């Protein structure tokens, strides 16, 4: 009985504390990039996302997420993967290469960088209807210097995650043999001698 009363008091205290929180300020000042989406359009975003992508609000809010991808193909294929791979709670996460905006006068304009993206579709049965997405810039510990094609970037990301050719093929909807062809290309580009060496070079940006 005493435990139930204590739990009820704790819940009441939590509700009272939550009532005083300015959730808009919490969203704006969150230490990771956040974006709200509807049909893959950016409906709102916080300051950290703008800083990460070197963008002004008008460059992102109301725009398609496509502006943050290195190529239209990567935008399209990522959308297909999200639809196919949401878990039962509507969650999805991956690591991918994304593109900073900036302006033509800035060195960062068009710069590509590694990013961890996670999020949740609010309606799992309709993955792109509405969602909330978190972005973490990985460039401080993962360097991107190599010139890679869109498909090479996708496969590089999954190799770094530790997936096998079979796992990568399943994730990307291609055959394991095709993955092996791209793996061989990446090894030539980086000068890697072994699979672990390839992953190390992809992470460090060596080539």
> What are the chain's domains?
23-142 (3.30.450.20), 146-207 (1.10.10.10)
Torsion of CA 80, 86, 92, 96, to 10 degrees: -20
* Mean per-residue pLDDT pooled into runs of 10, the chain (207 residues): 54 57 92 97 98 95 97 95 92 95 66 95 95 96 86 93 92 94 94 91 77
- Tokens 């949740």 identify what position? 120
Write the CB contacts of 132 (distance below 8 Å, at least 6 apart in sequence).
Answer: 34, 35, 36, 37, 119, 120, 122
Cβ 31 vs Cβ 48: under 8 Å: yes
* Contact (Cβ atoms closer than 8 angstroms) between residue 123 and residue 98: no
What is the structure's pLDDT at 119? 96
Pair of tokens at residue 186: 């990446």
Contact 139, 97 (CB under 8 A): no
Both tokens of 168, joined, read 């990568």
Query: Three-class SS of residue 138?
Result: coil
User: H/E element holding 97?
Assistant: strand 91-99
Closest CA to 127 of 119, 138, 115: 119
What's the whole-model pTM score?
A: 0.80
CA distance 143 to 146: 9
* CB distance 35 to 45 below 8 Å: yes
Judge contact between 153 and 96, C-beta under 8 A. Answer: yes
């Amino acid at each position: 009985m005493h435990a139930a009363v204590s739990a009820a008091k704790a819940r009441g205290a939590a509700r009272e504390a939550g009532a005083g929180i300015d959730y808009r300020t919490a969203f704006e000042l969150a230490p990771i990039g956040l974006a709200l989406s509807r049909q893959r359009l950016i409906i709102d975003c916080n300051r950290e996302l703008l800083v990460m992508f070197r963008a002004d609000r008008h460059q992102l809010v109301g725009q398609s997420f496509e502006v943050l991808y290195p190529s239209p193909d990567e935008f399209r294929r990522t959308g297909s993967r999200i639809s196919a791979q949401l878990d039962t709670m509507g969650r999805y996460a991956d690591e991918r290469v994304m593109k900073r905006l900036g302006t033509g006068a800035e060195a960062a304009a068009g710069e590509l960088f590694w990013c961890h993206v996670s999020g949740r579709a609010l309606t799992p049965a309709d993955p792109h209807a509405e969602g909330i997405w978190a972005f973490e810039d990985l460039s401080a510990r993962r360097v991107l210097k190599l010139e890679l094609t869109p498909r090479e970037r996708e496969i590089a990301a999954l190799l770094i995650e530790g997936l096998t050719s079979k796992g990568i093929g399943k994730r990307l909807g291609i055959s394991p043999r095709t993955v092996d062809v791209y793996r061989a290309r990446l090894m030539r580009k980086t000068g890697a001698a072994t699979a672990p060496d390839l992953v190390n070079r992809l992470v460090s940006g060596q080539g």
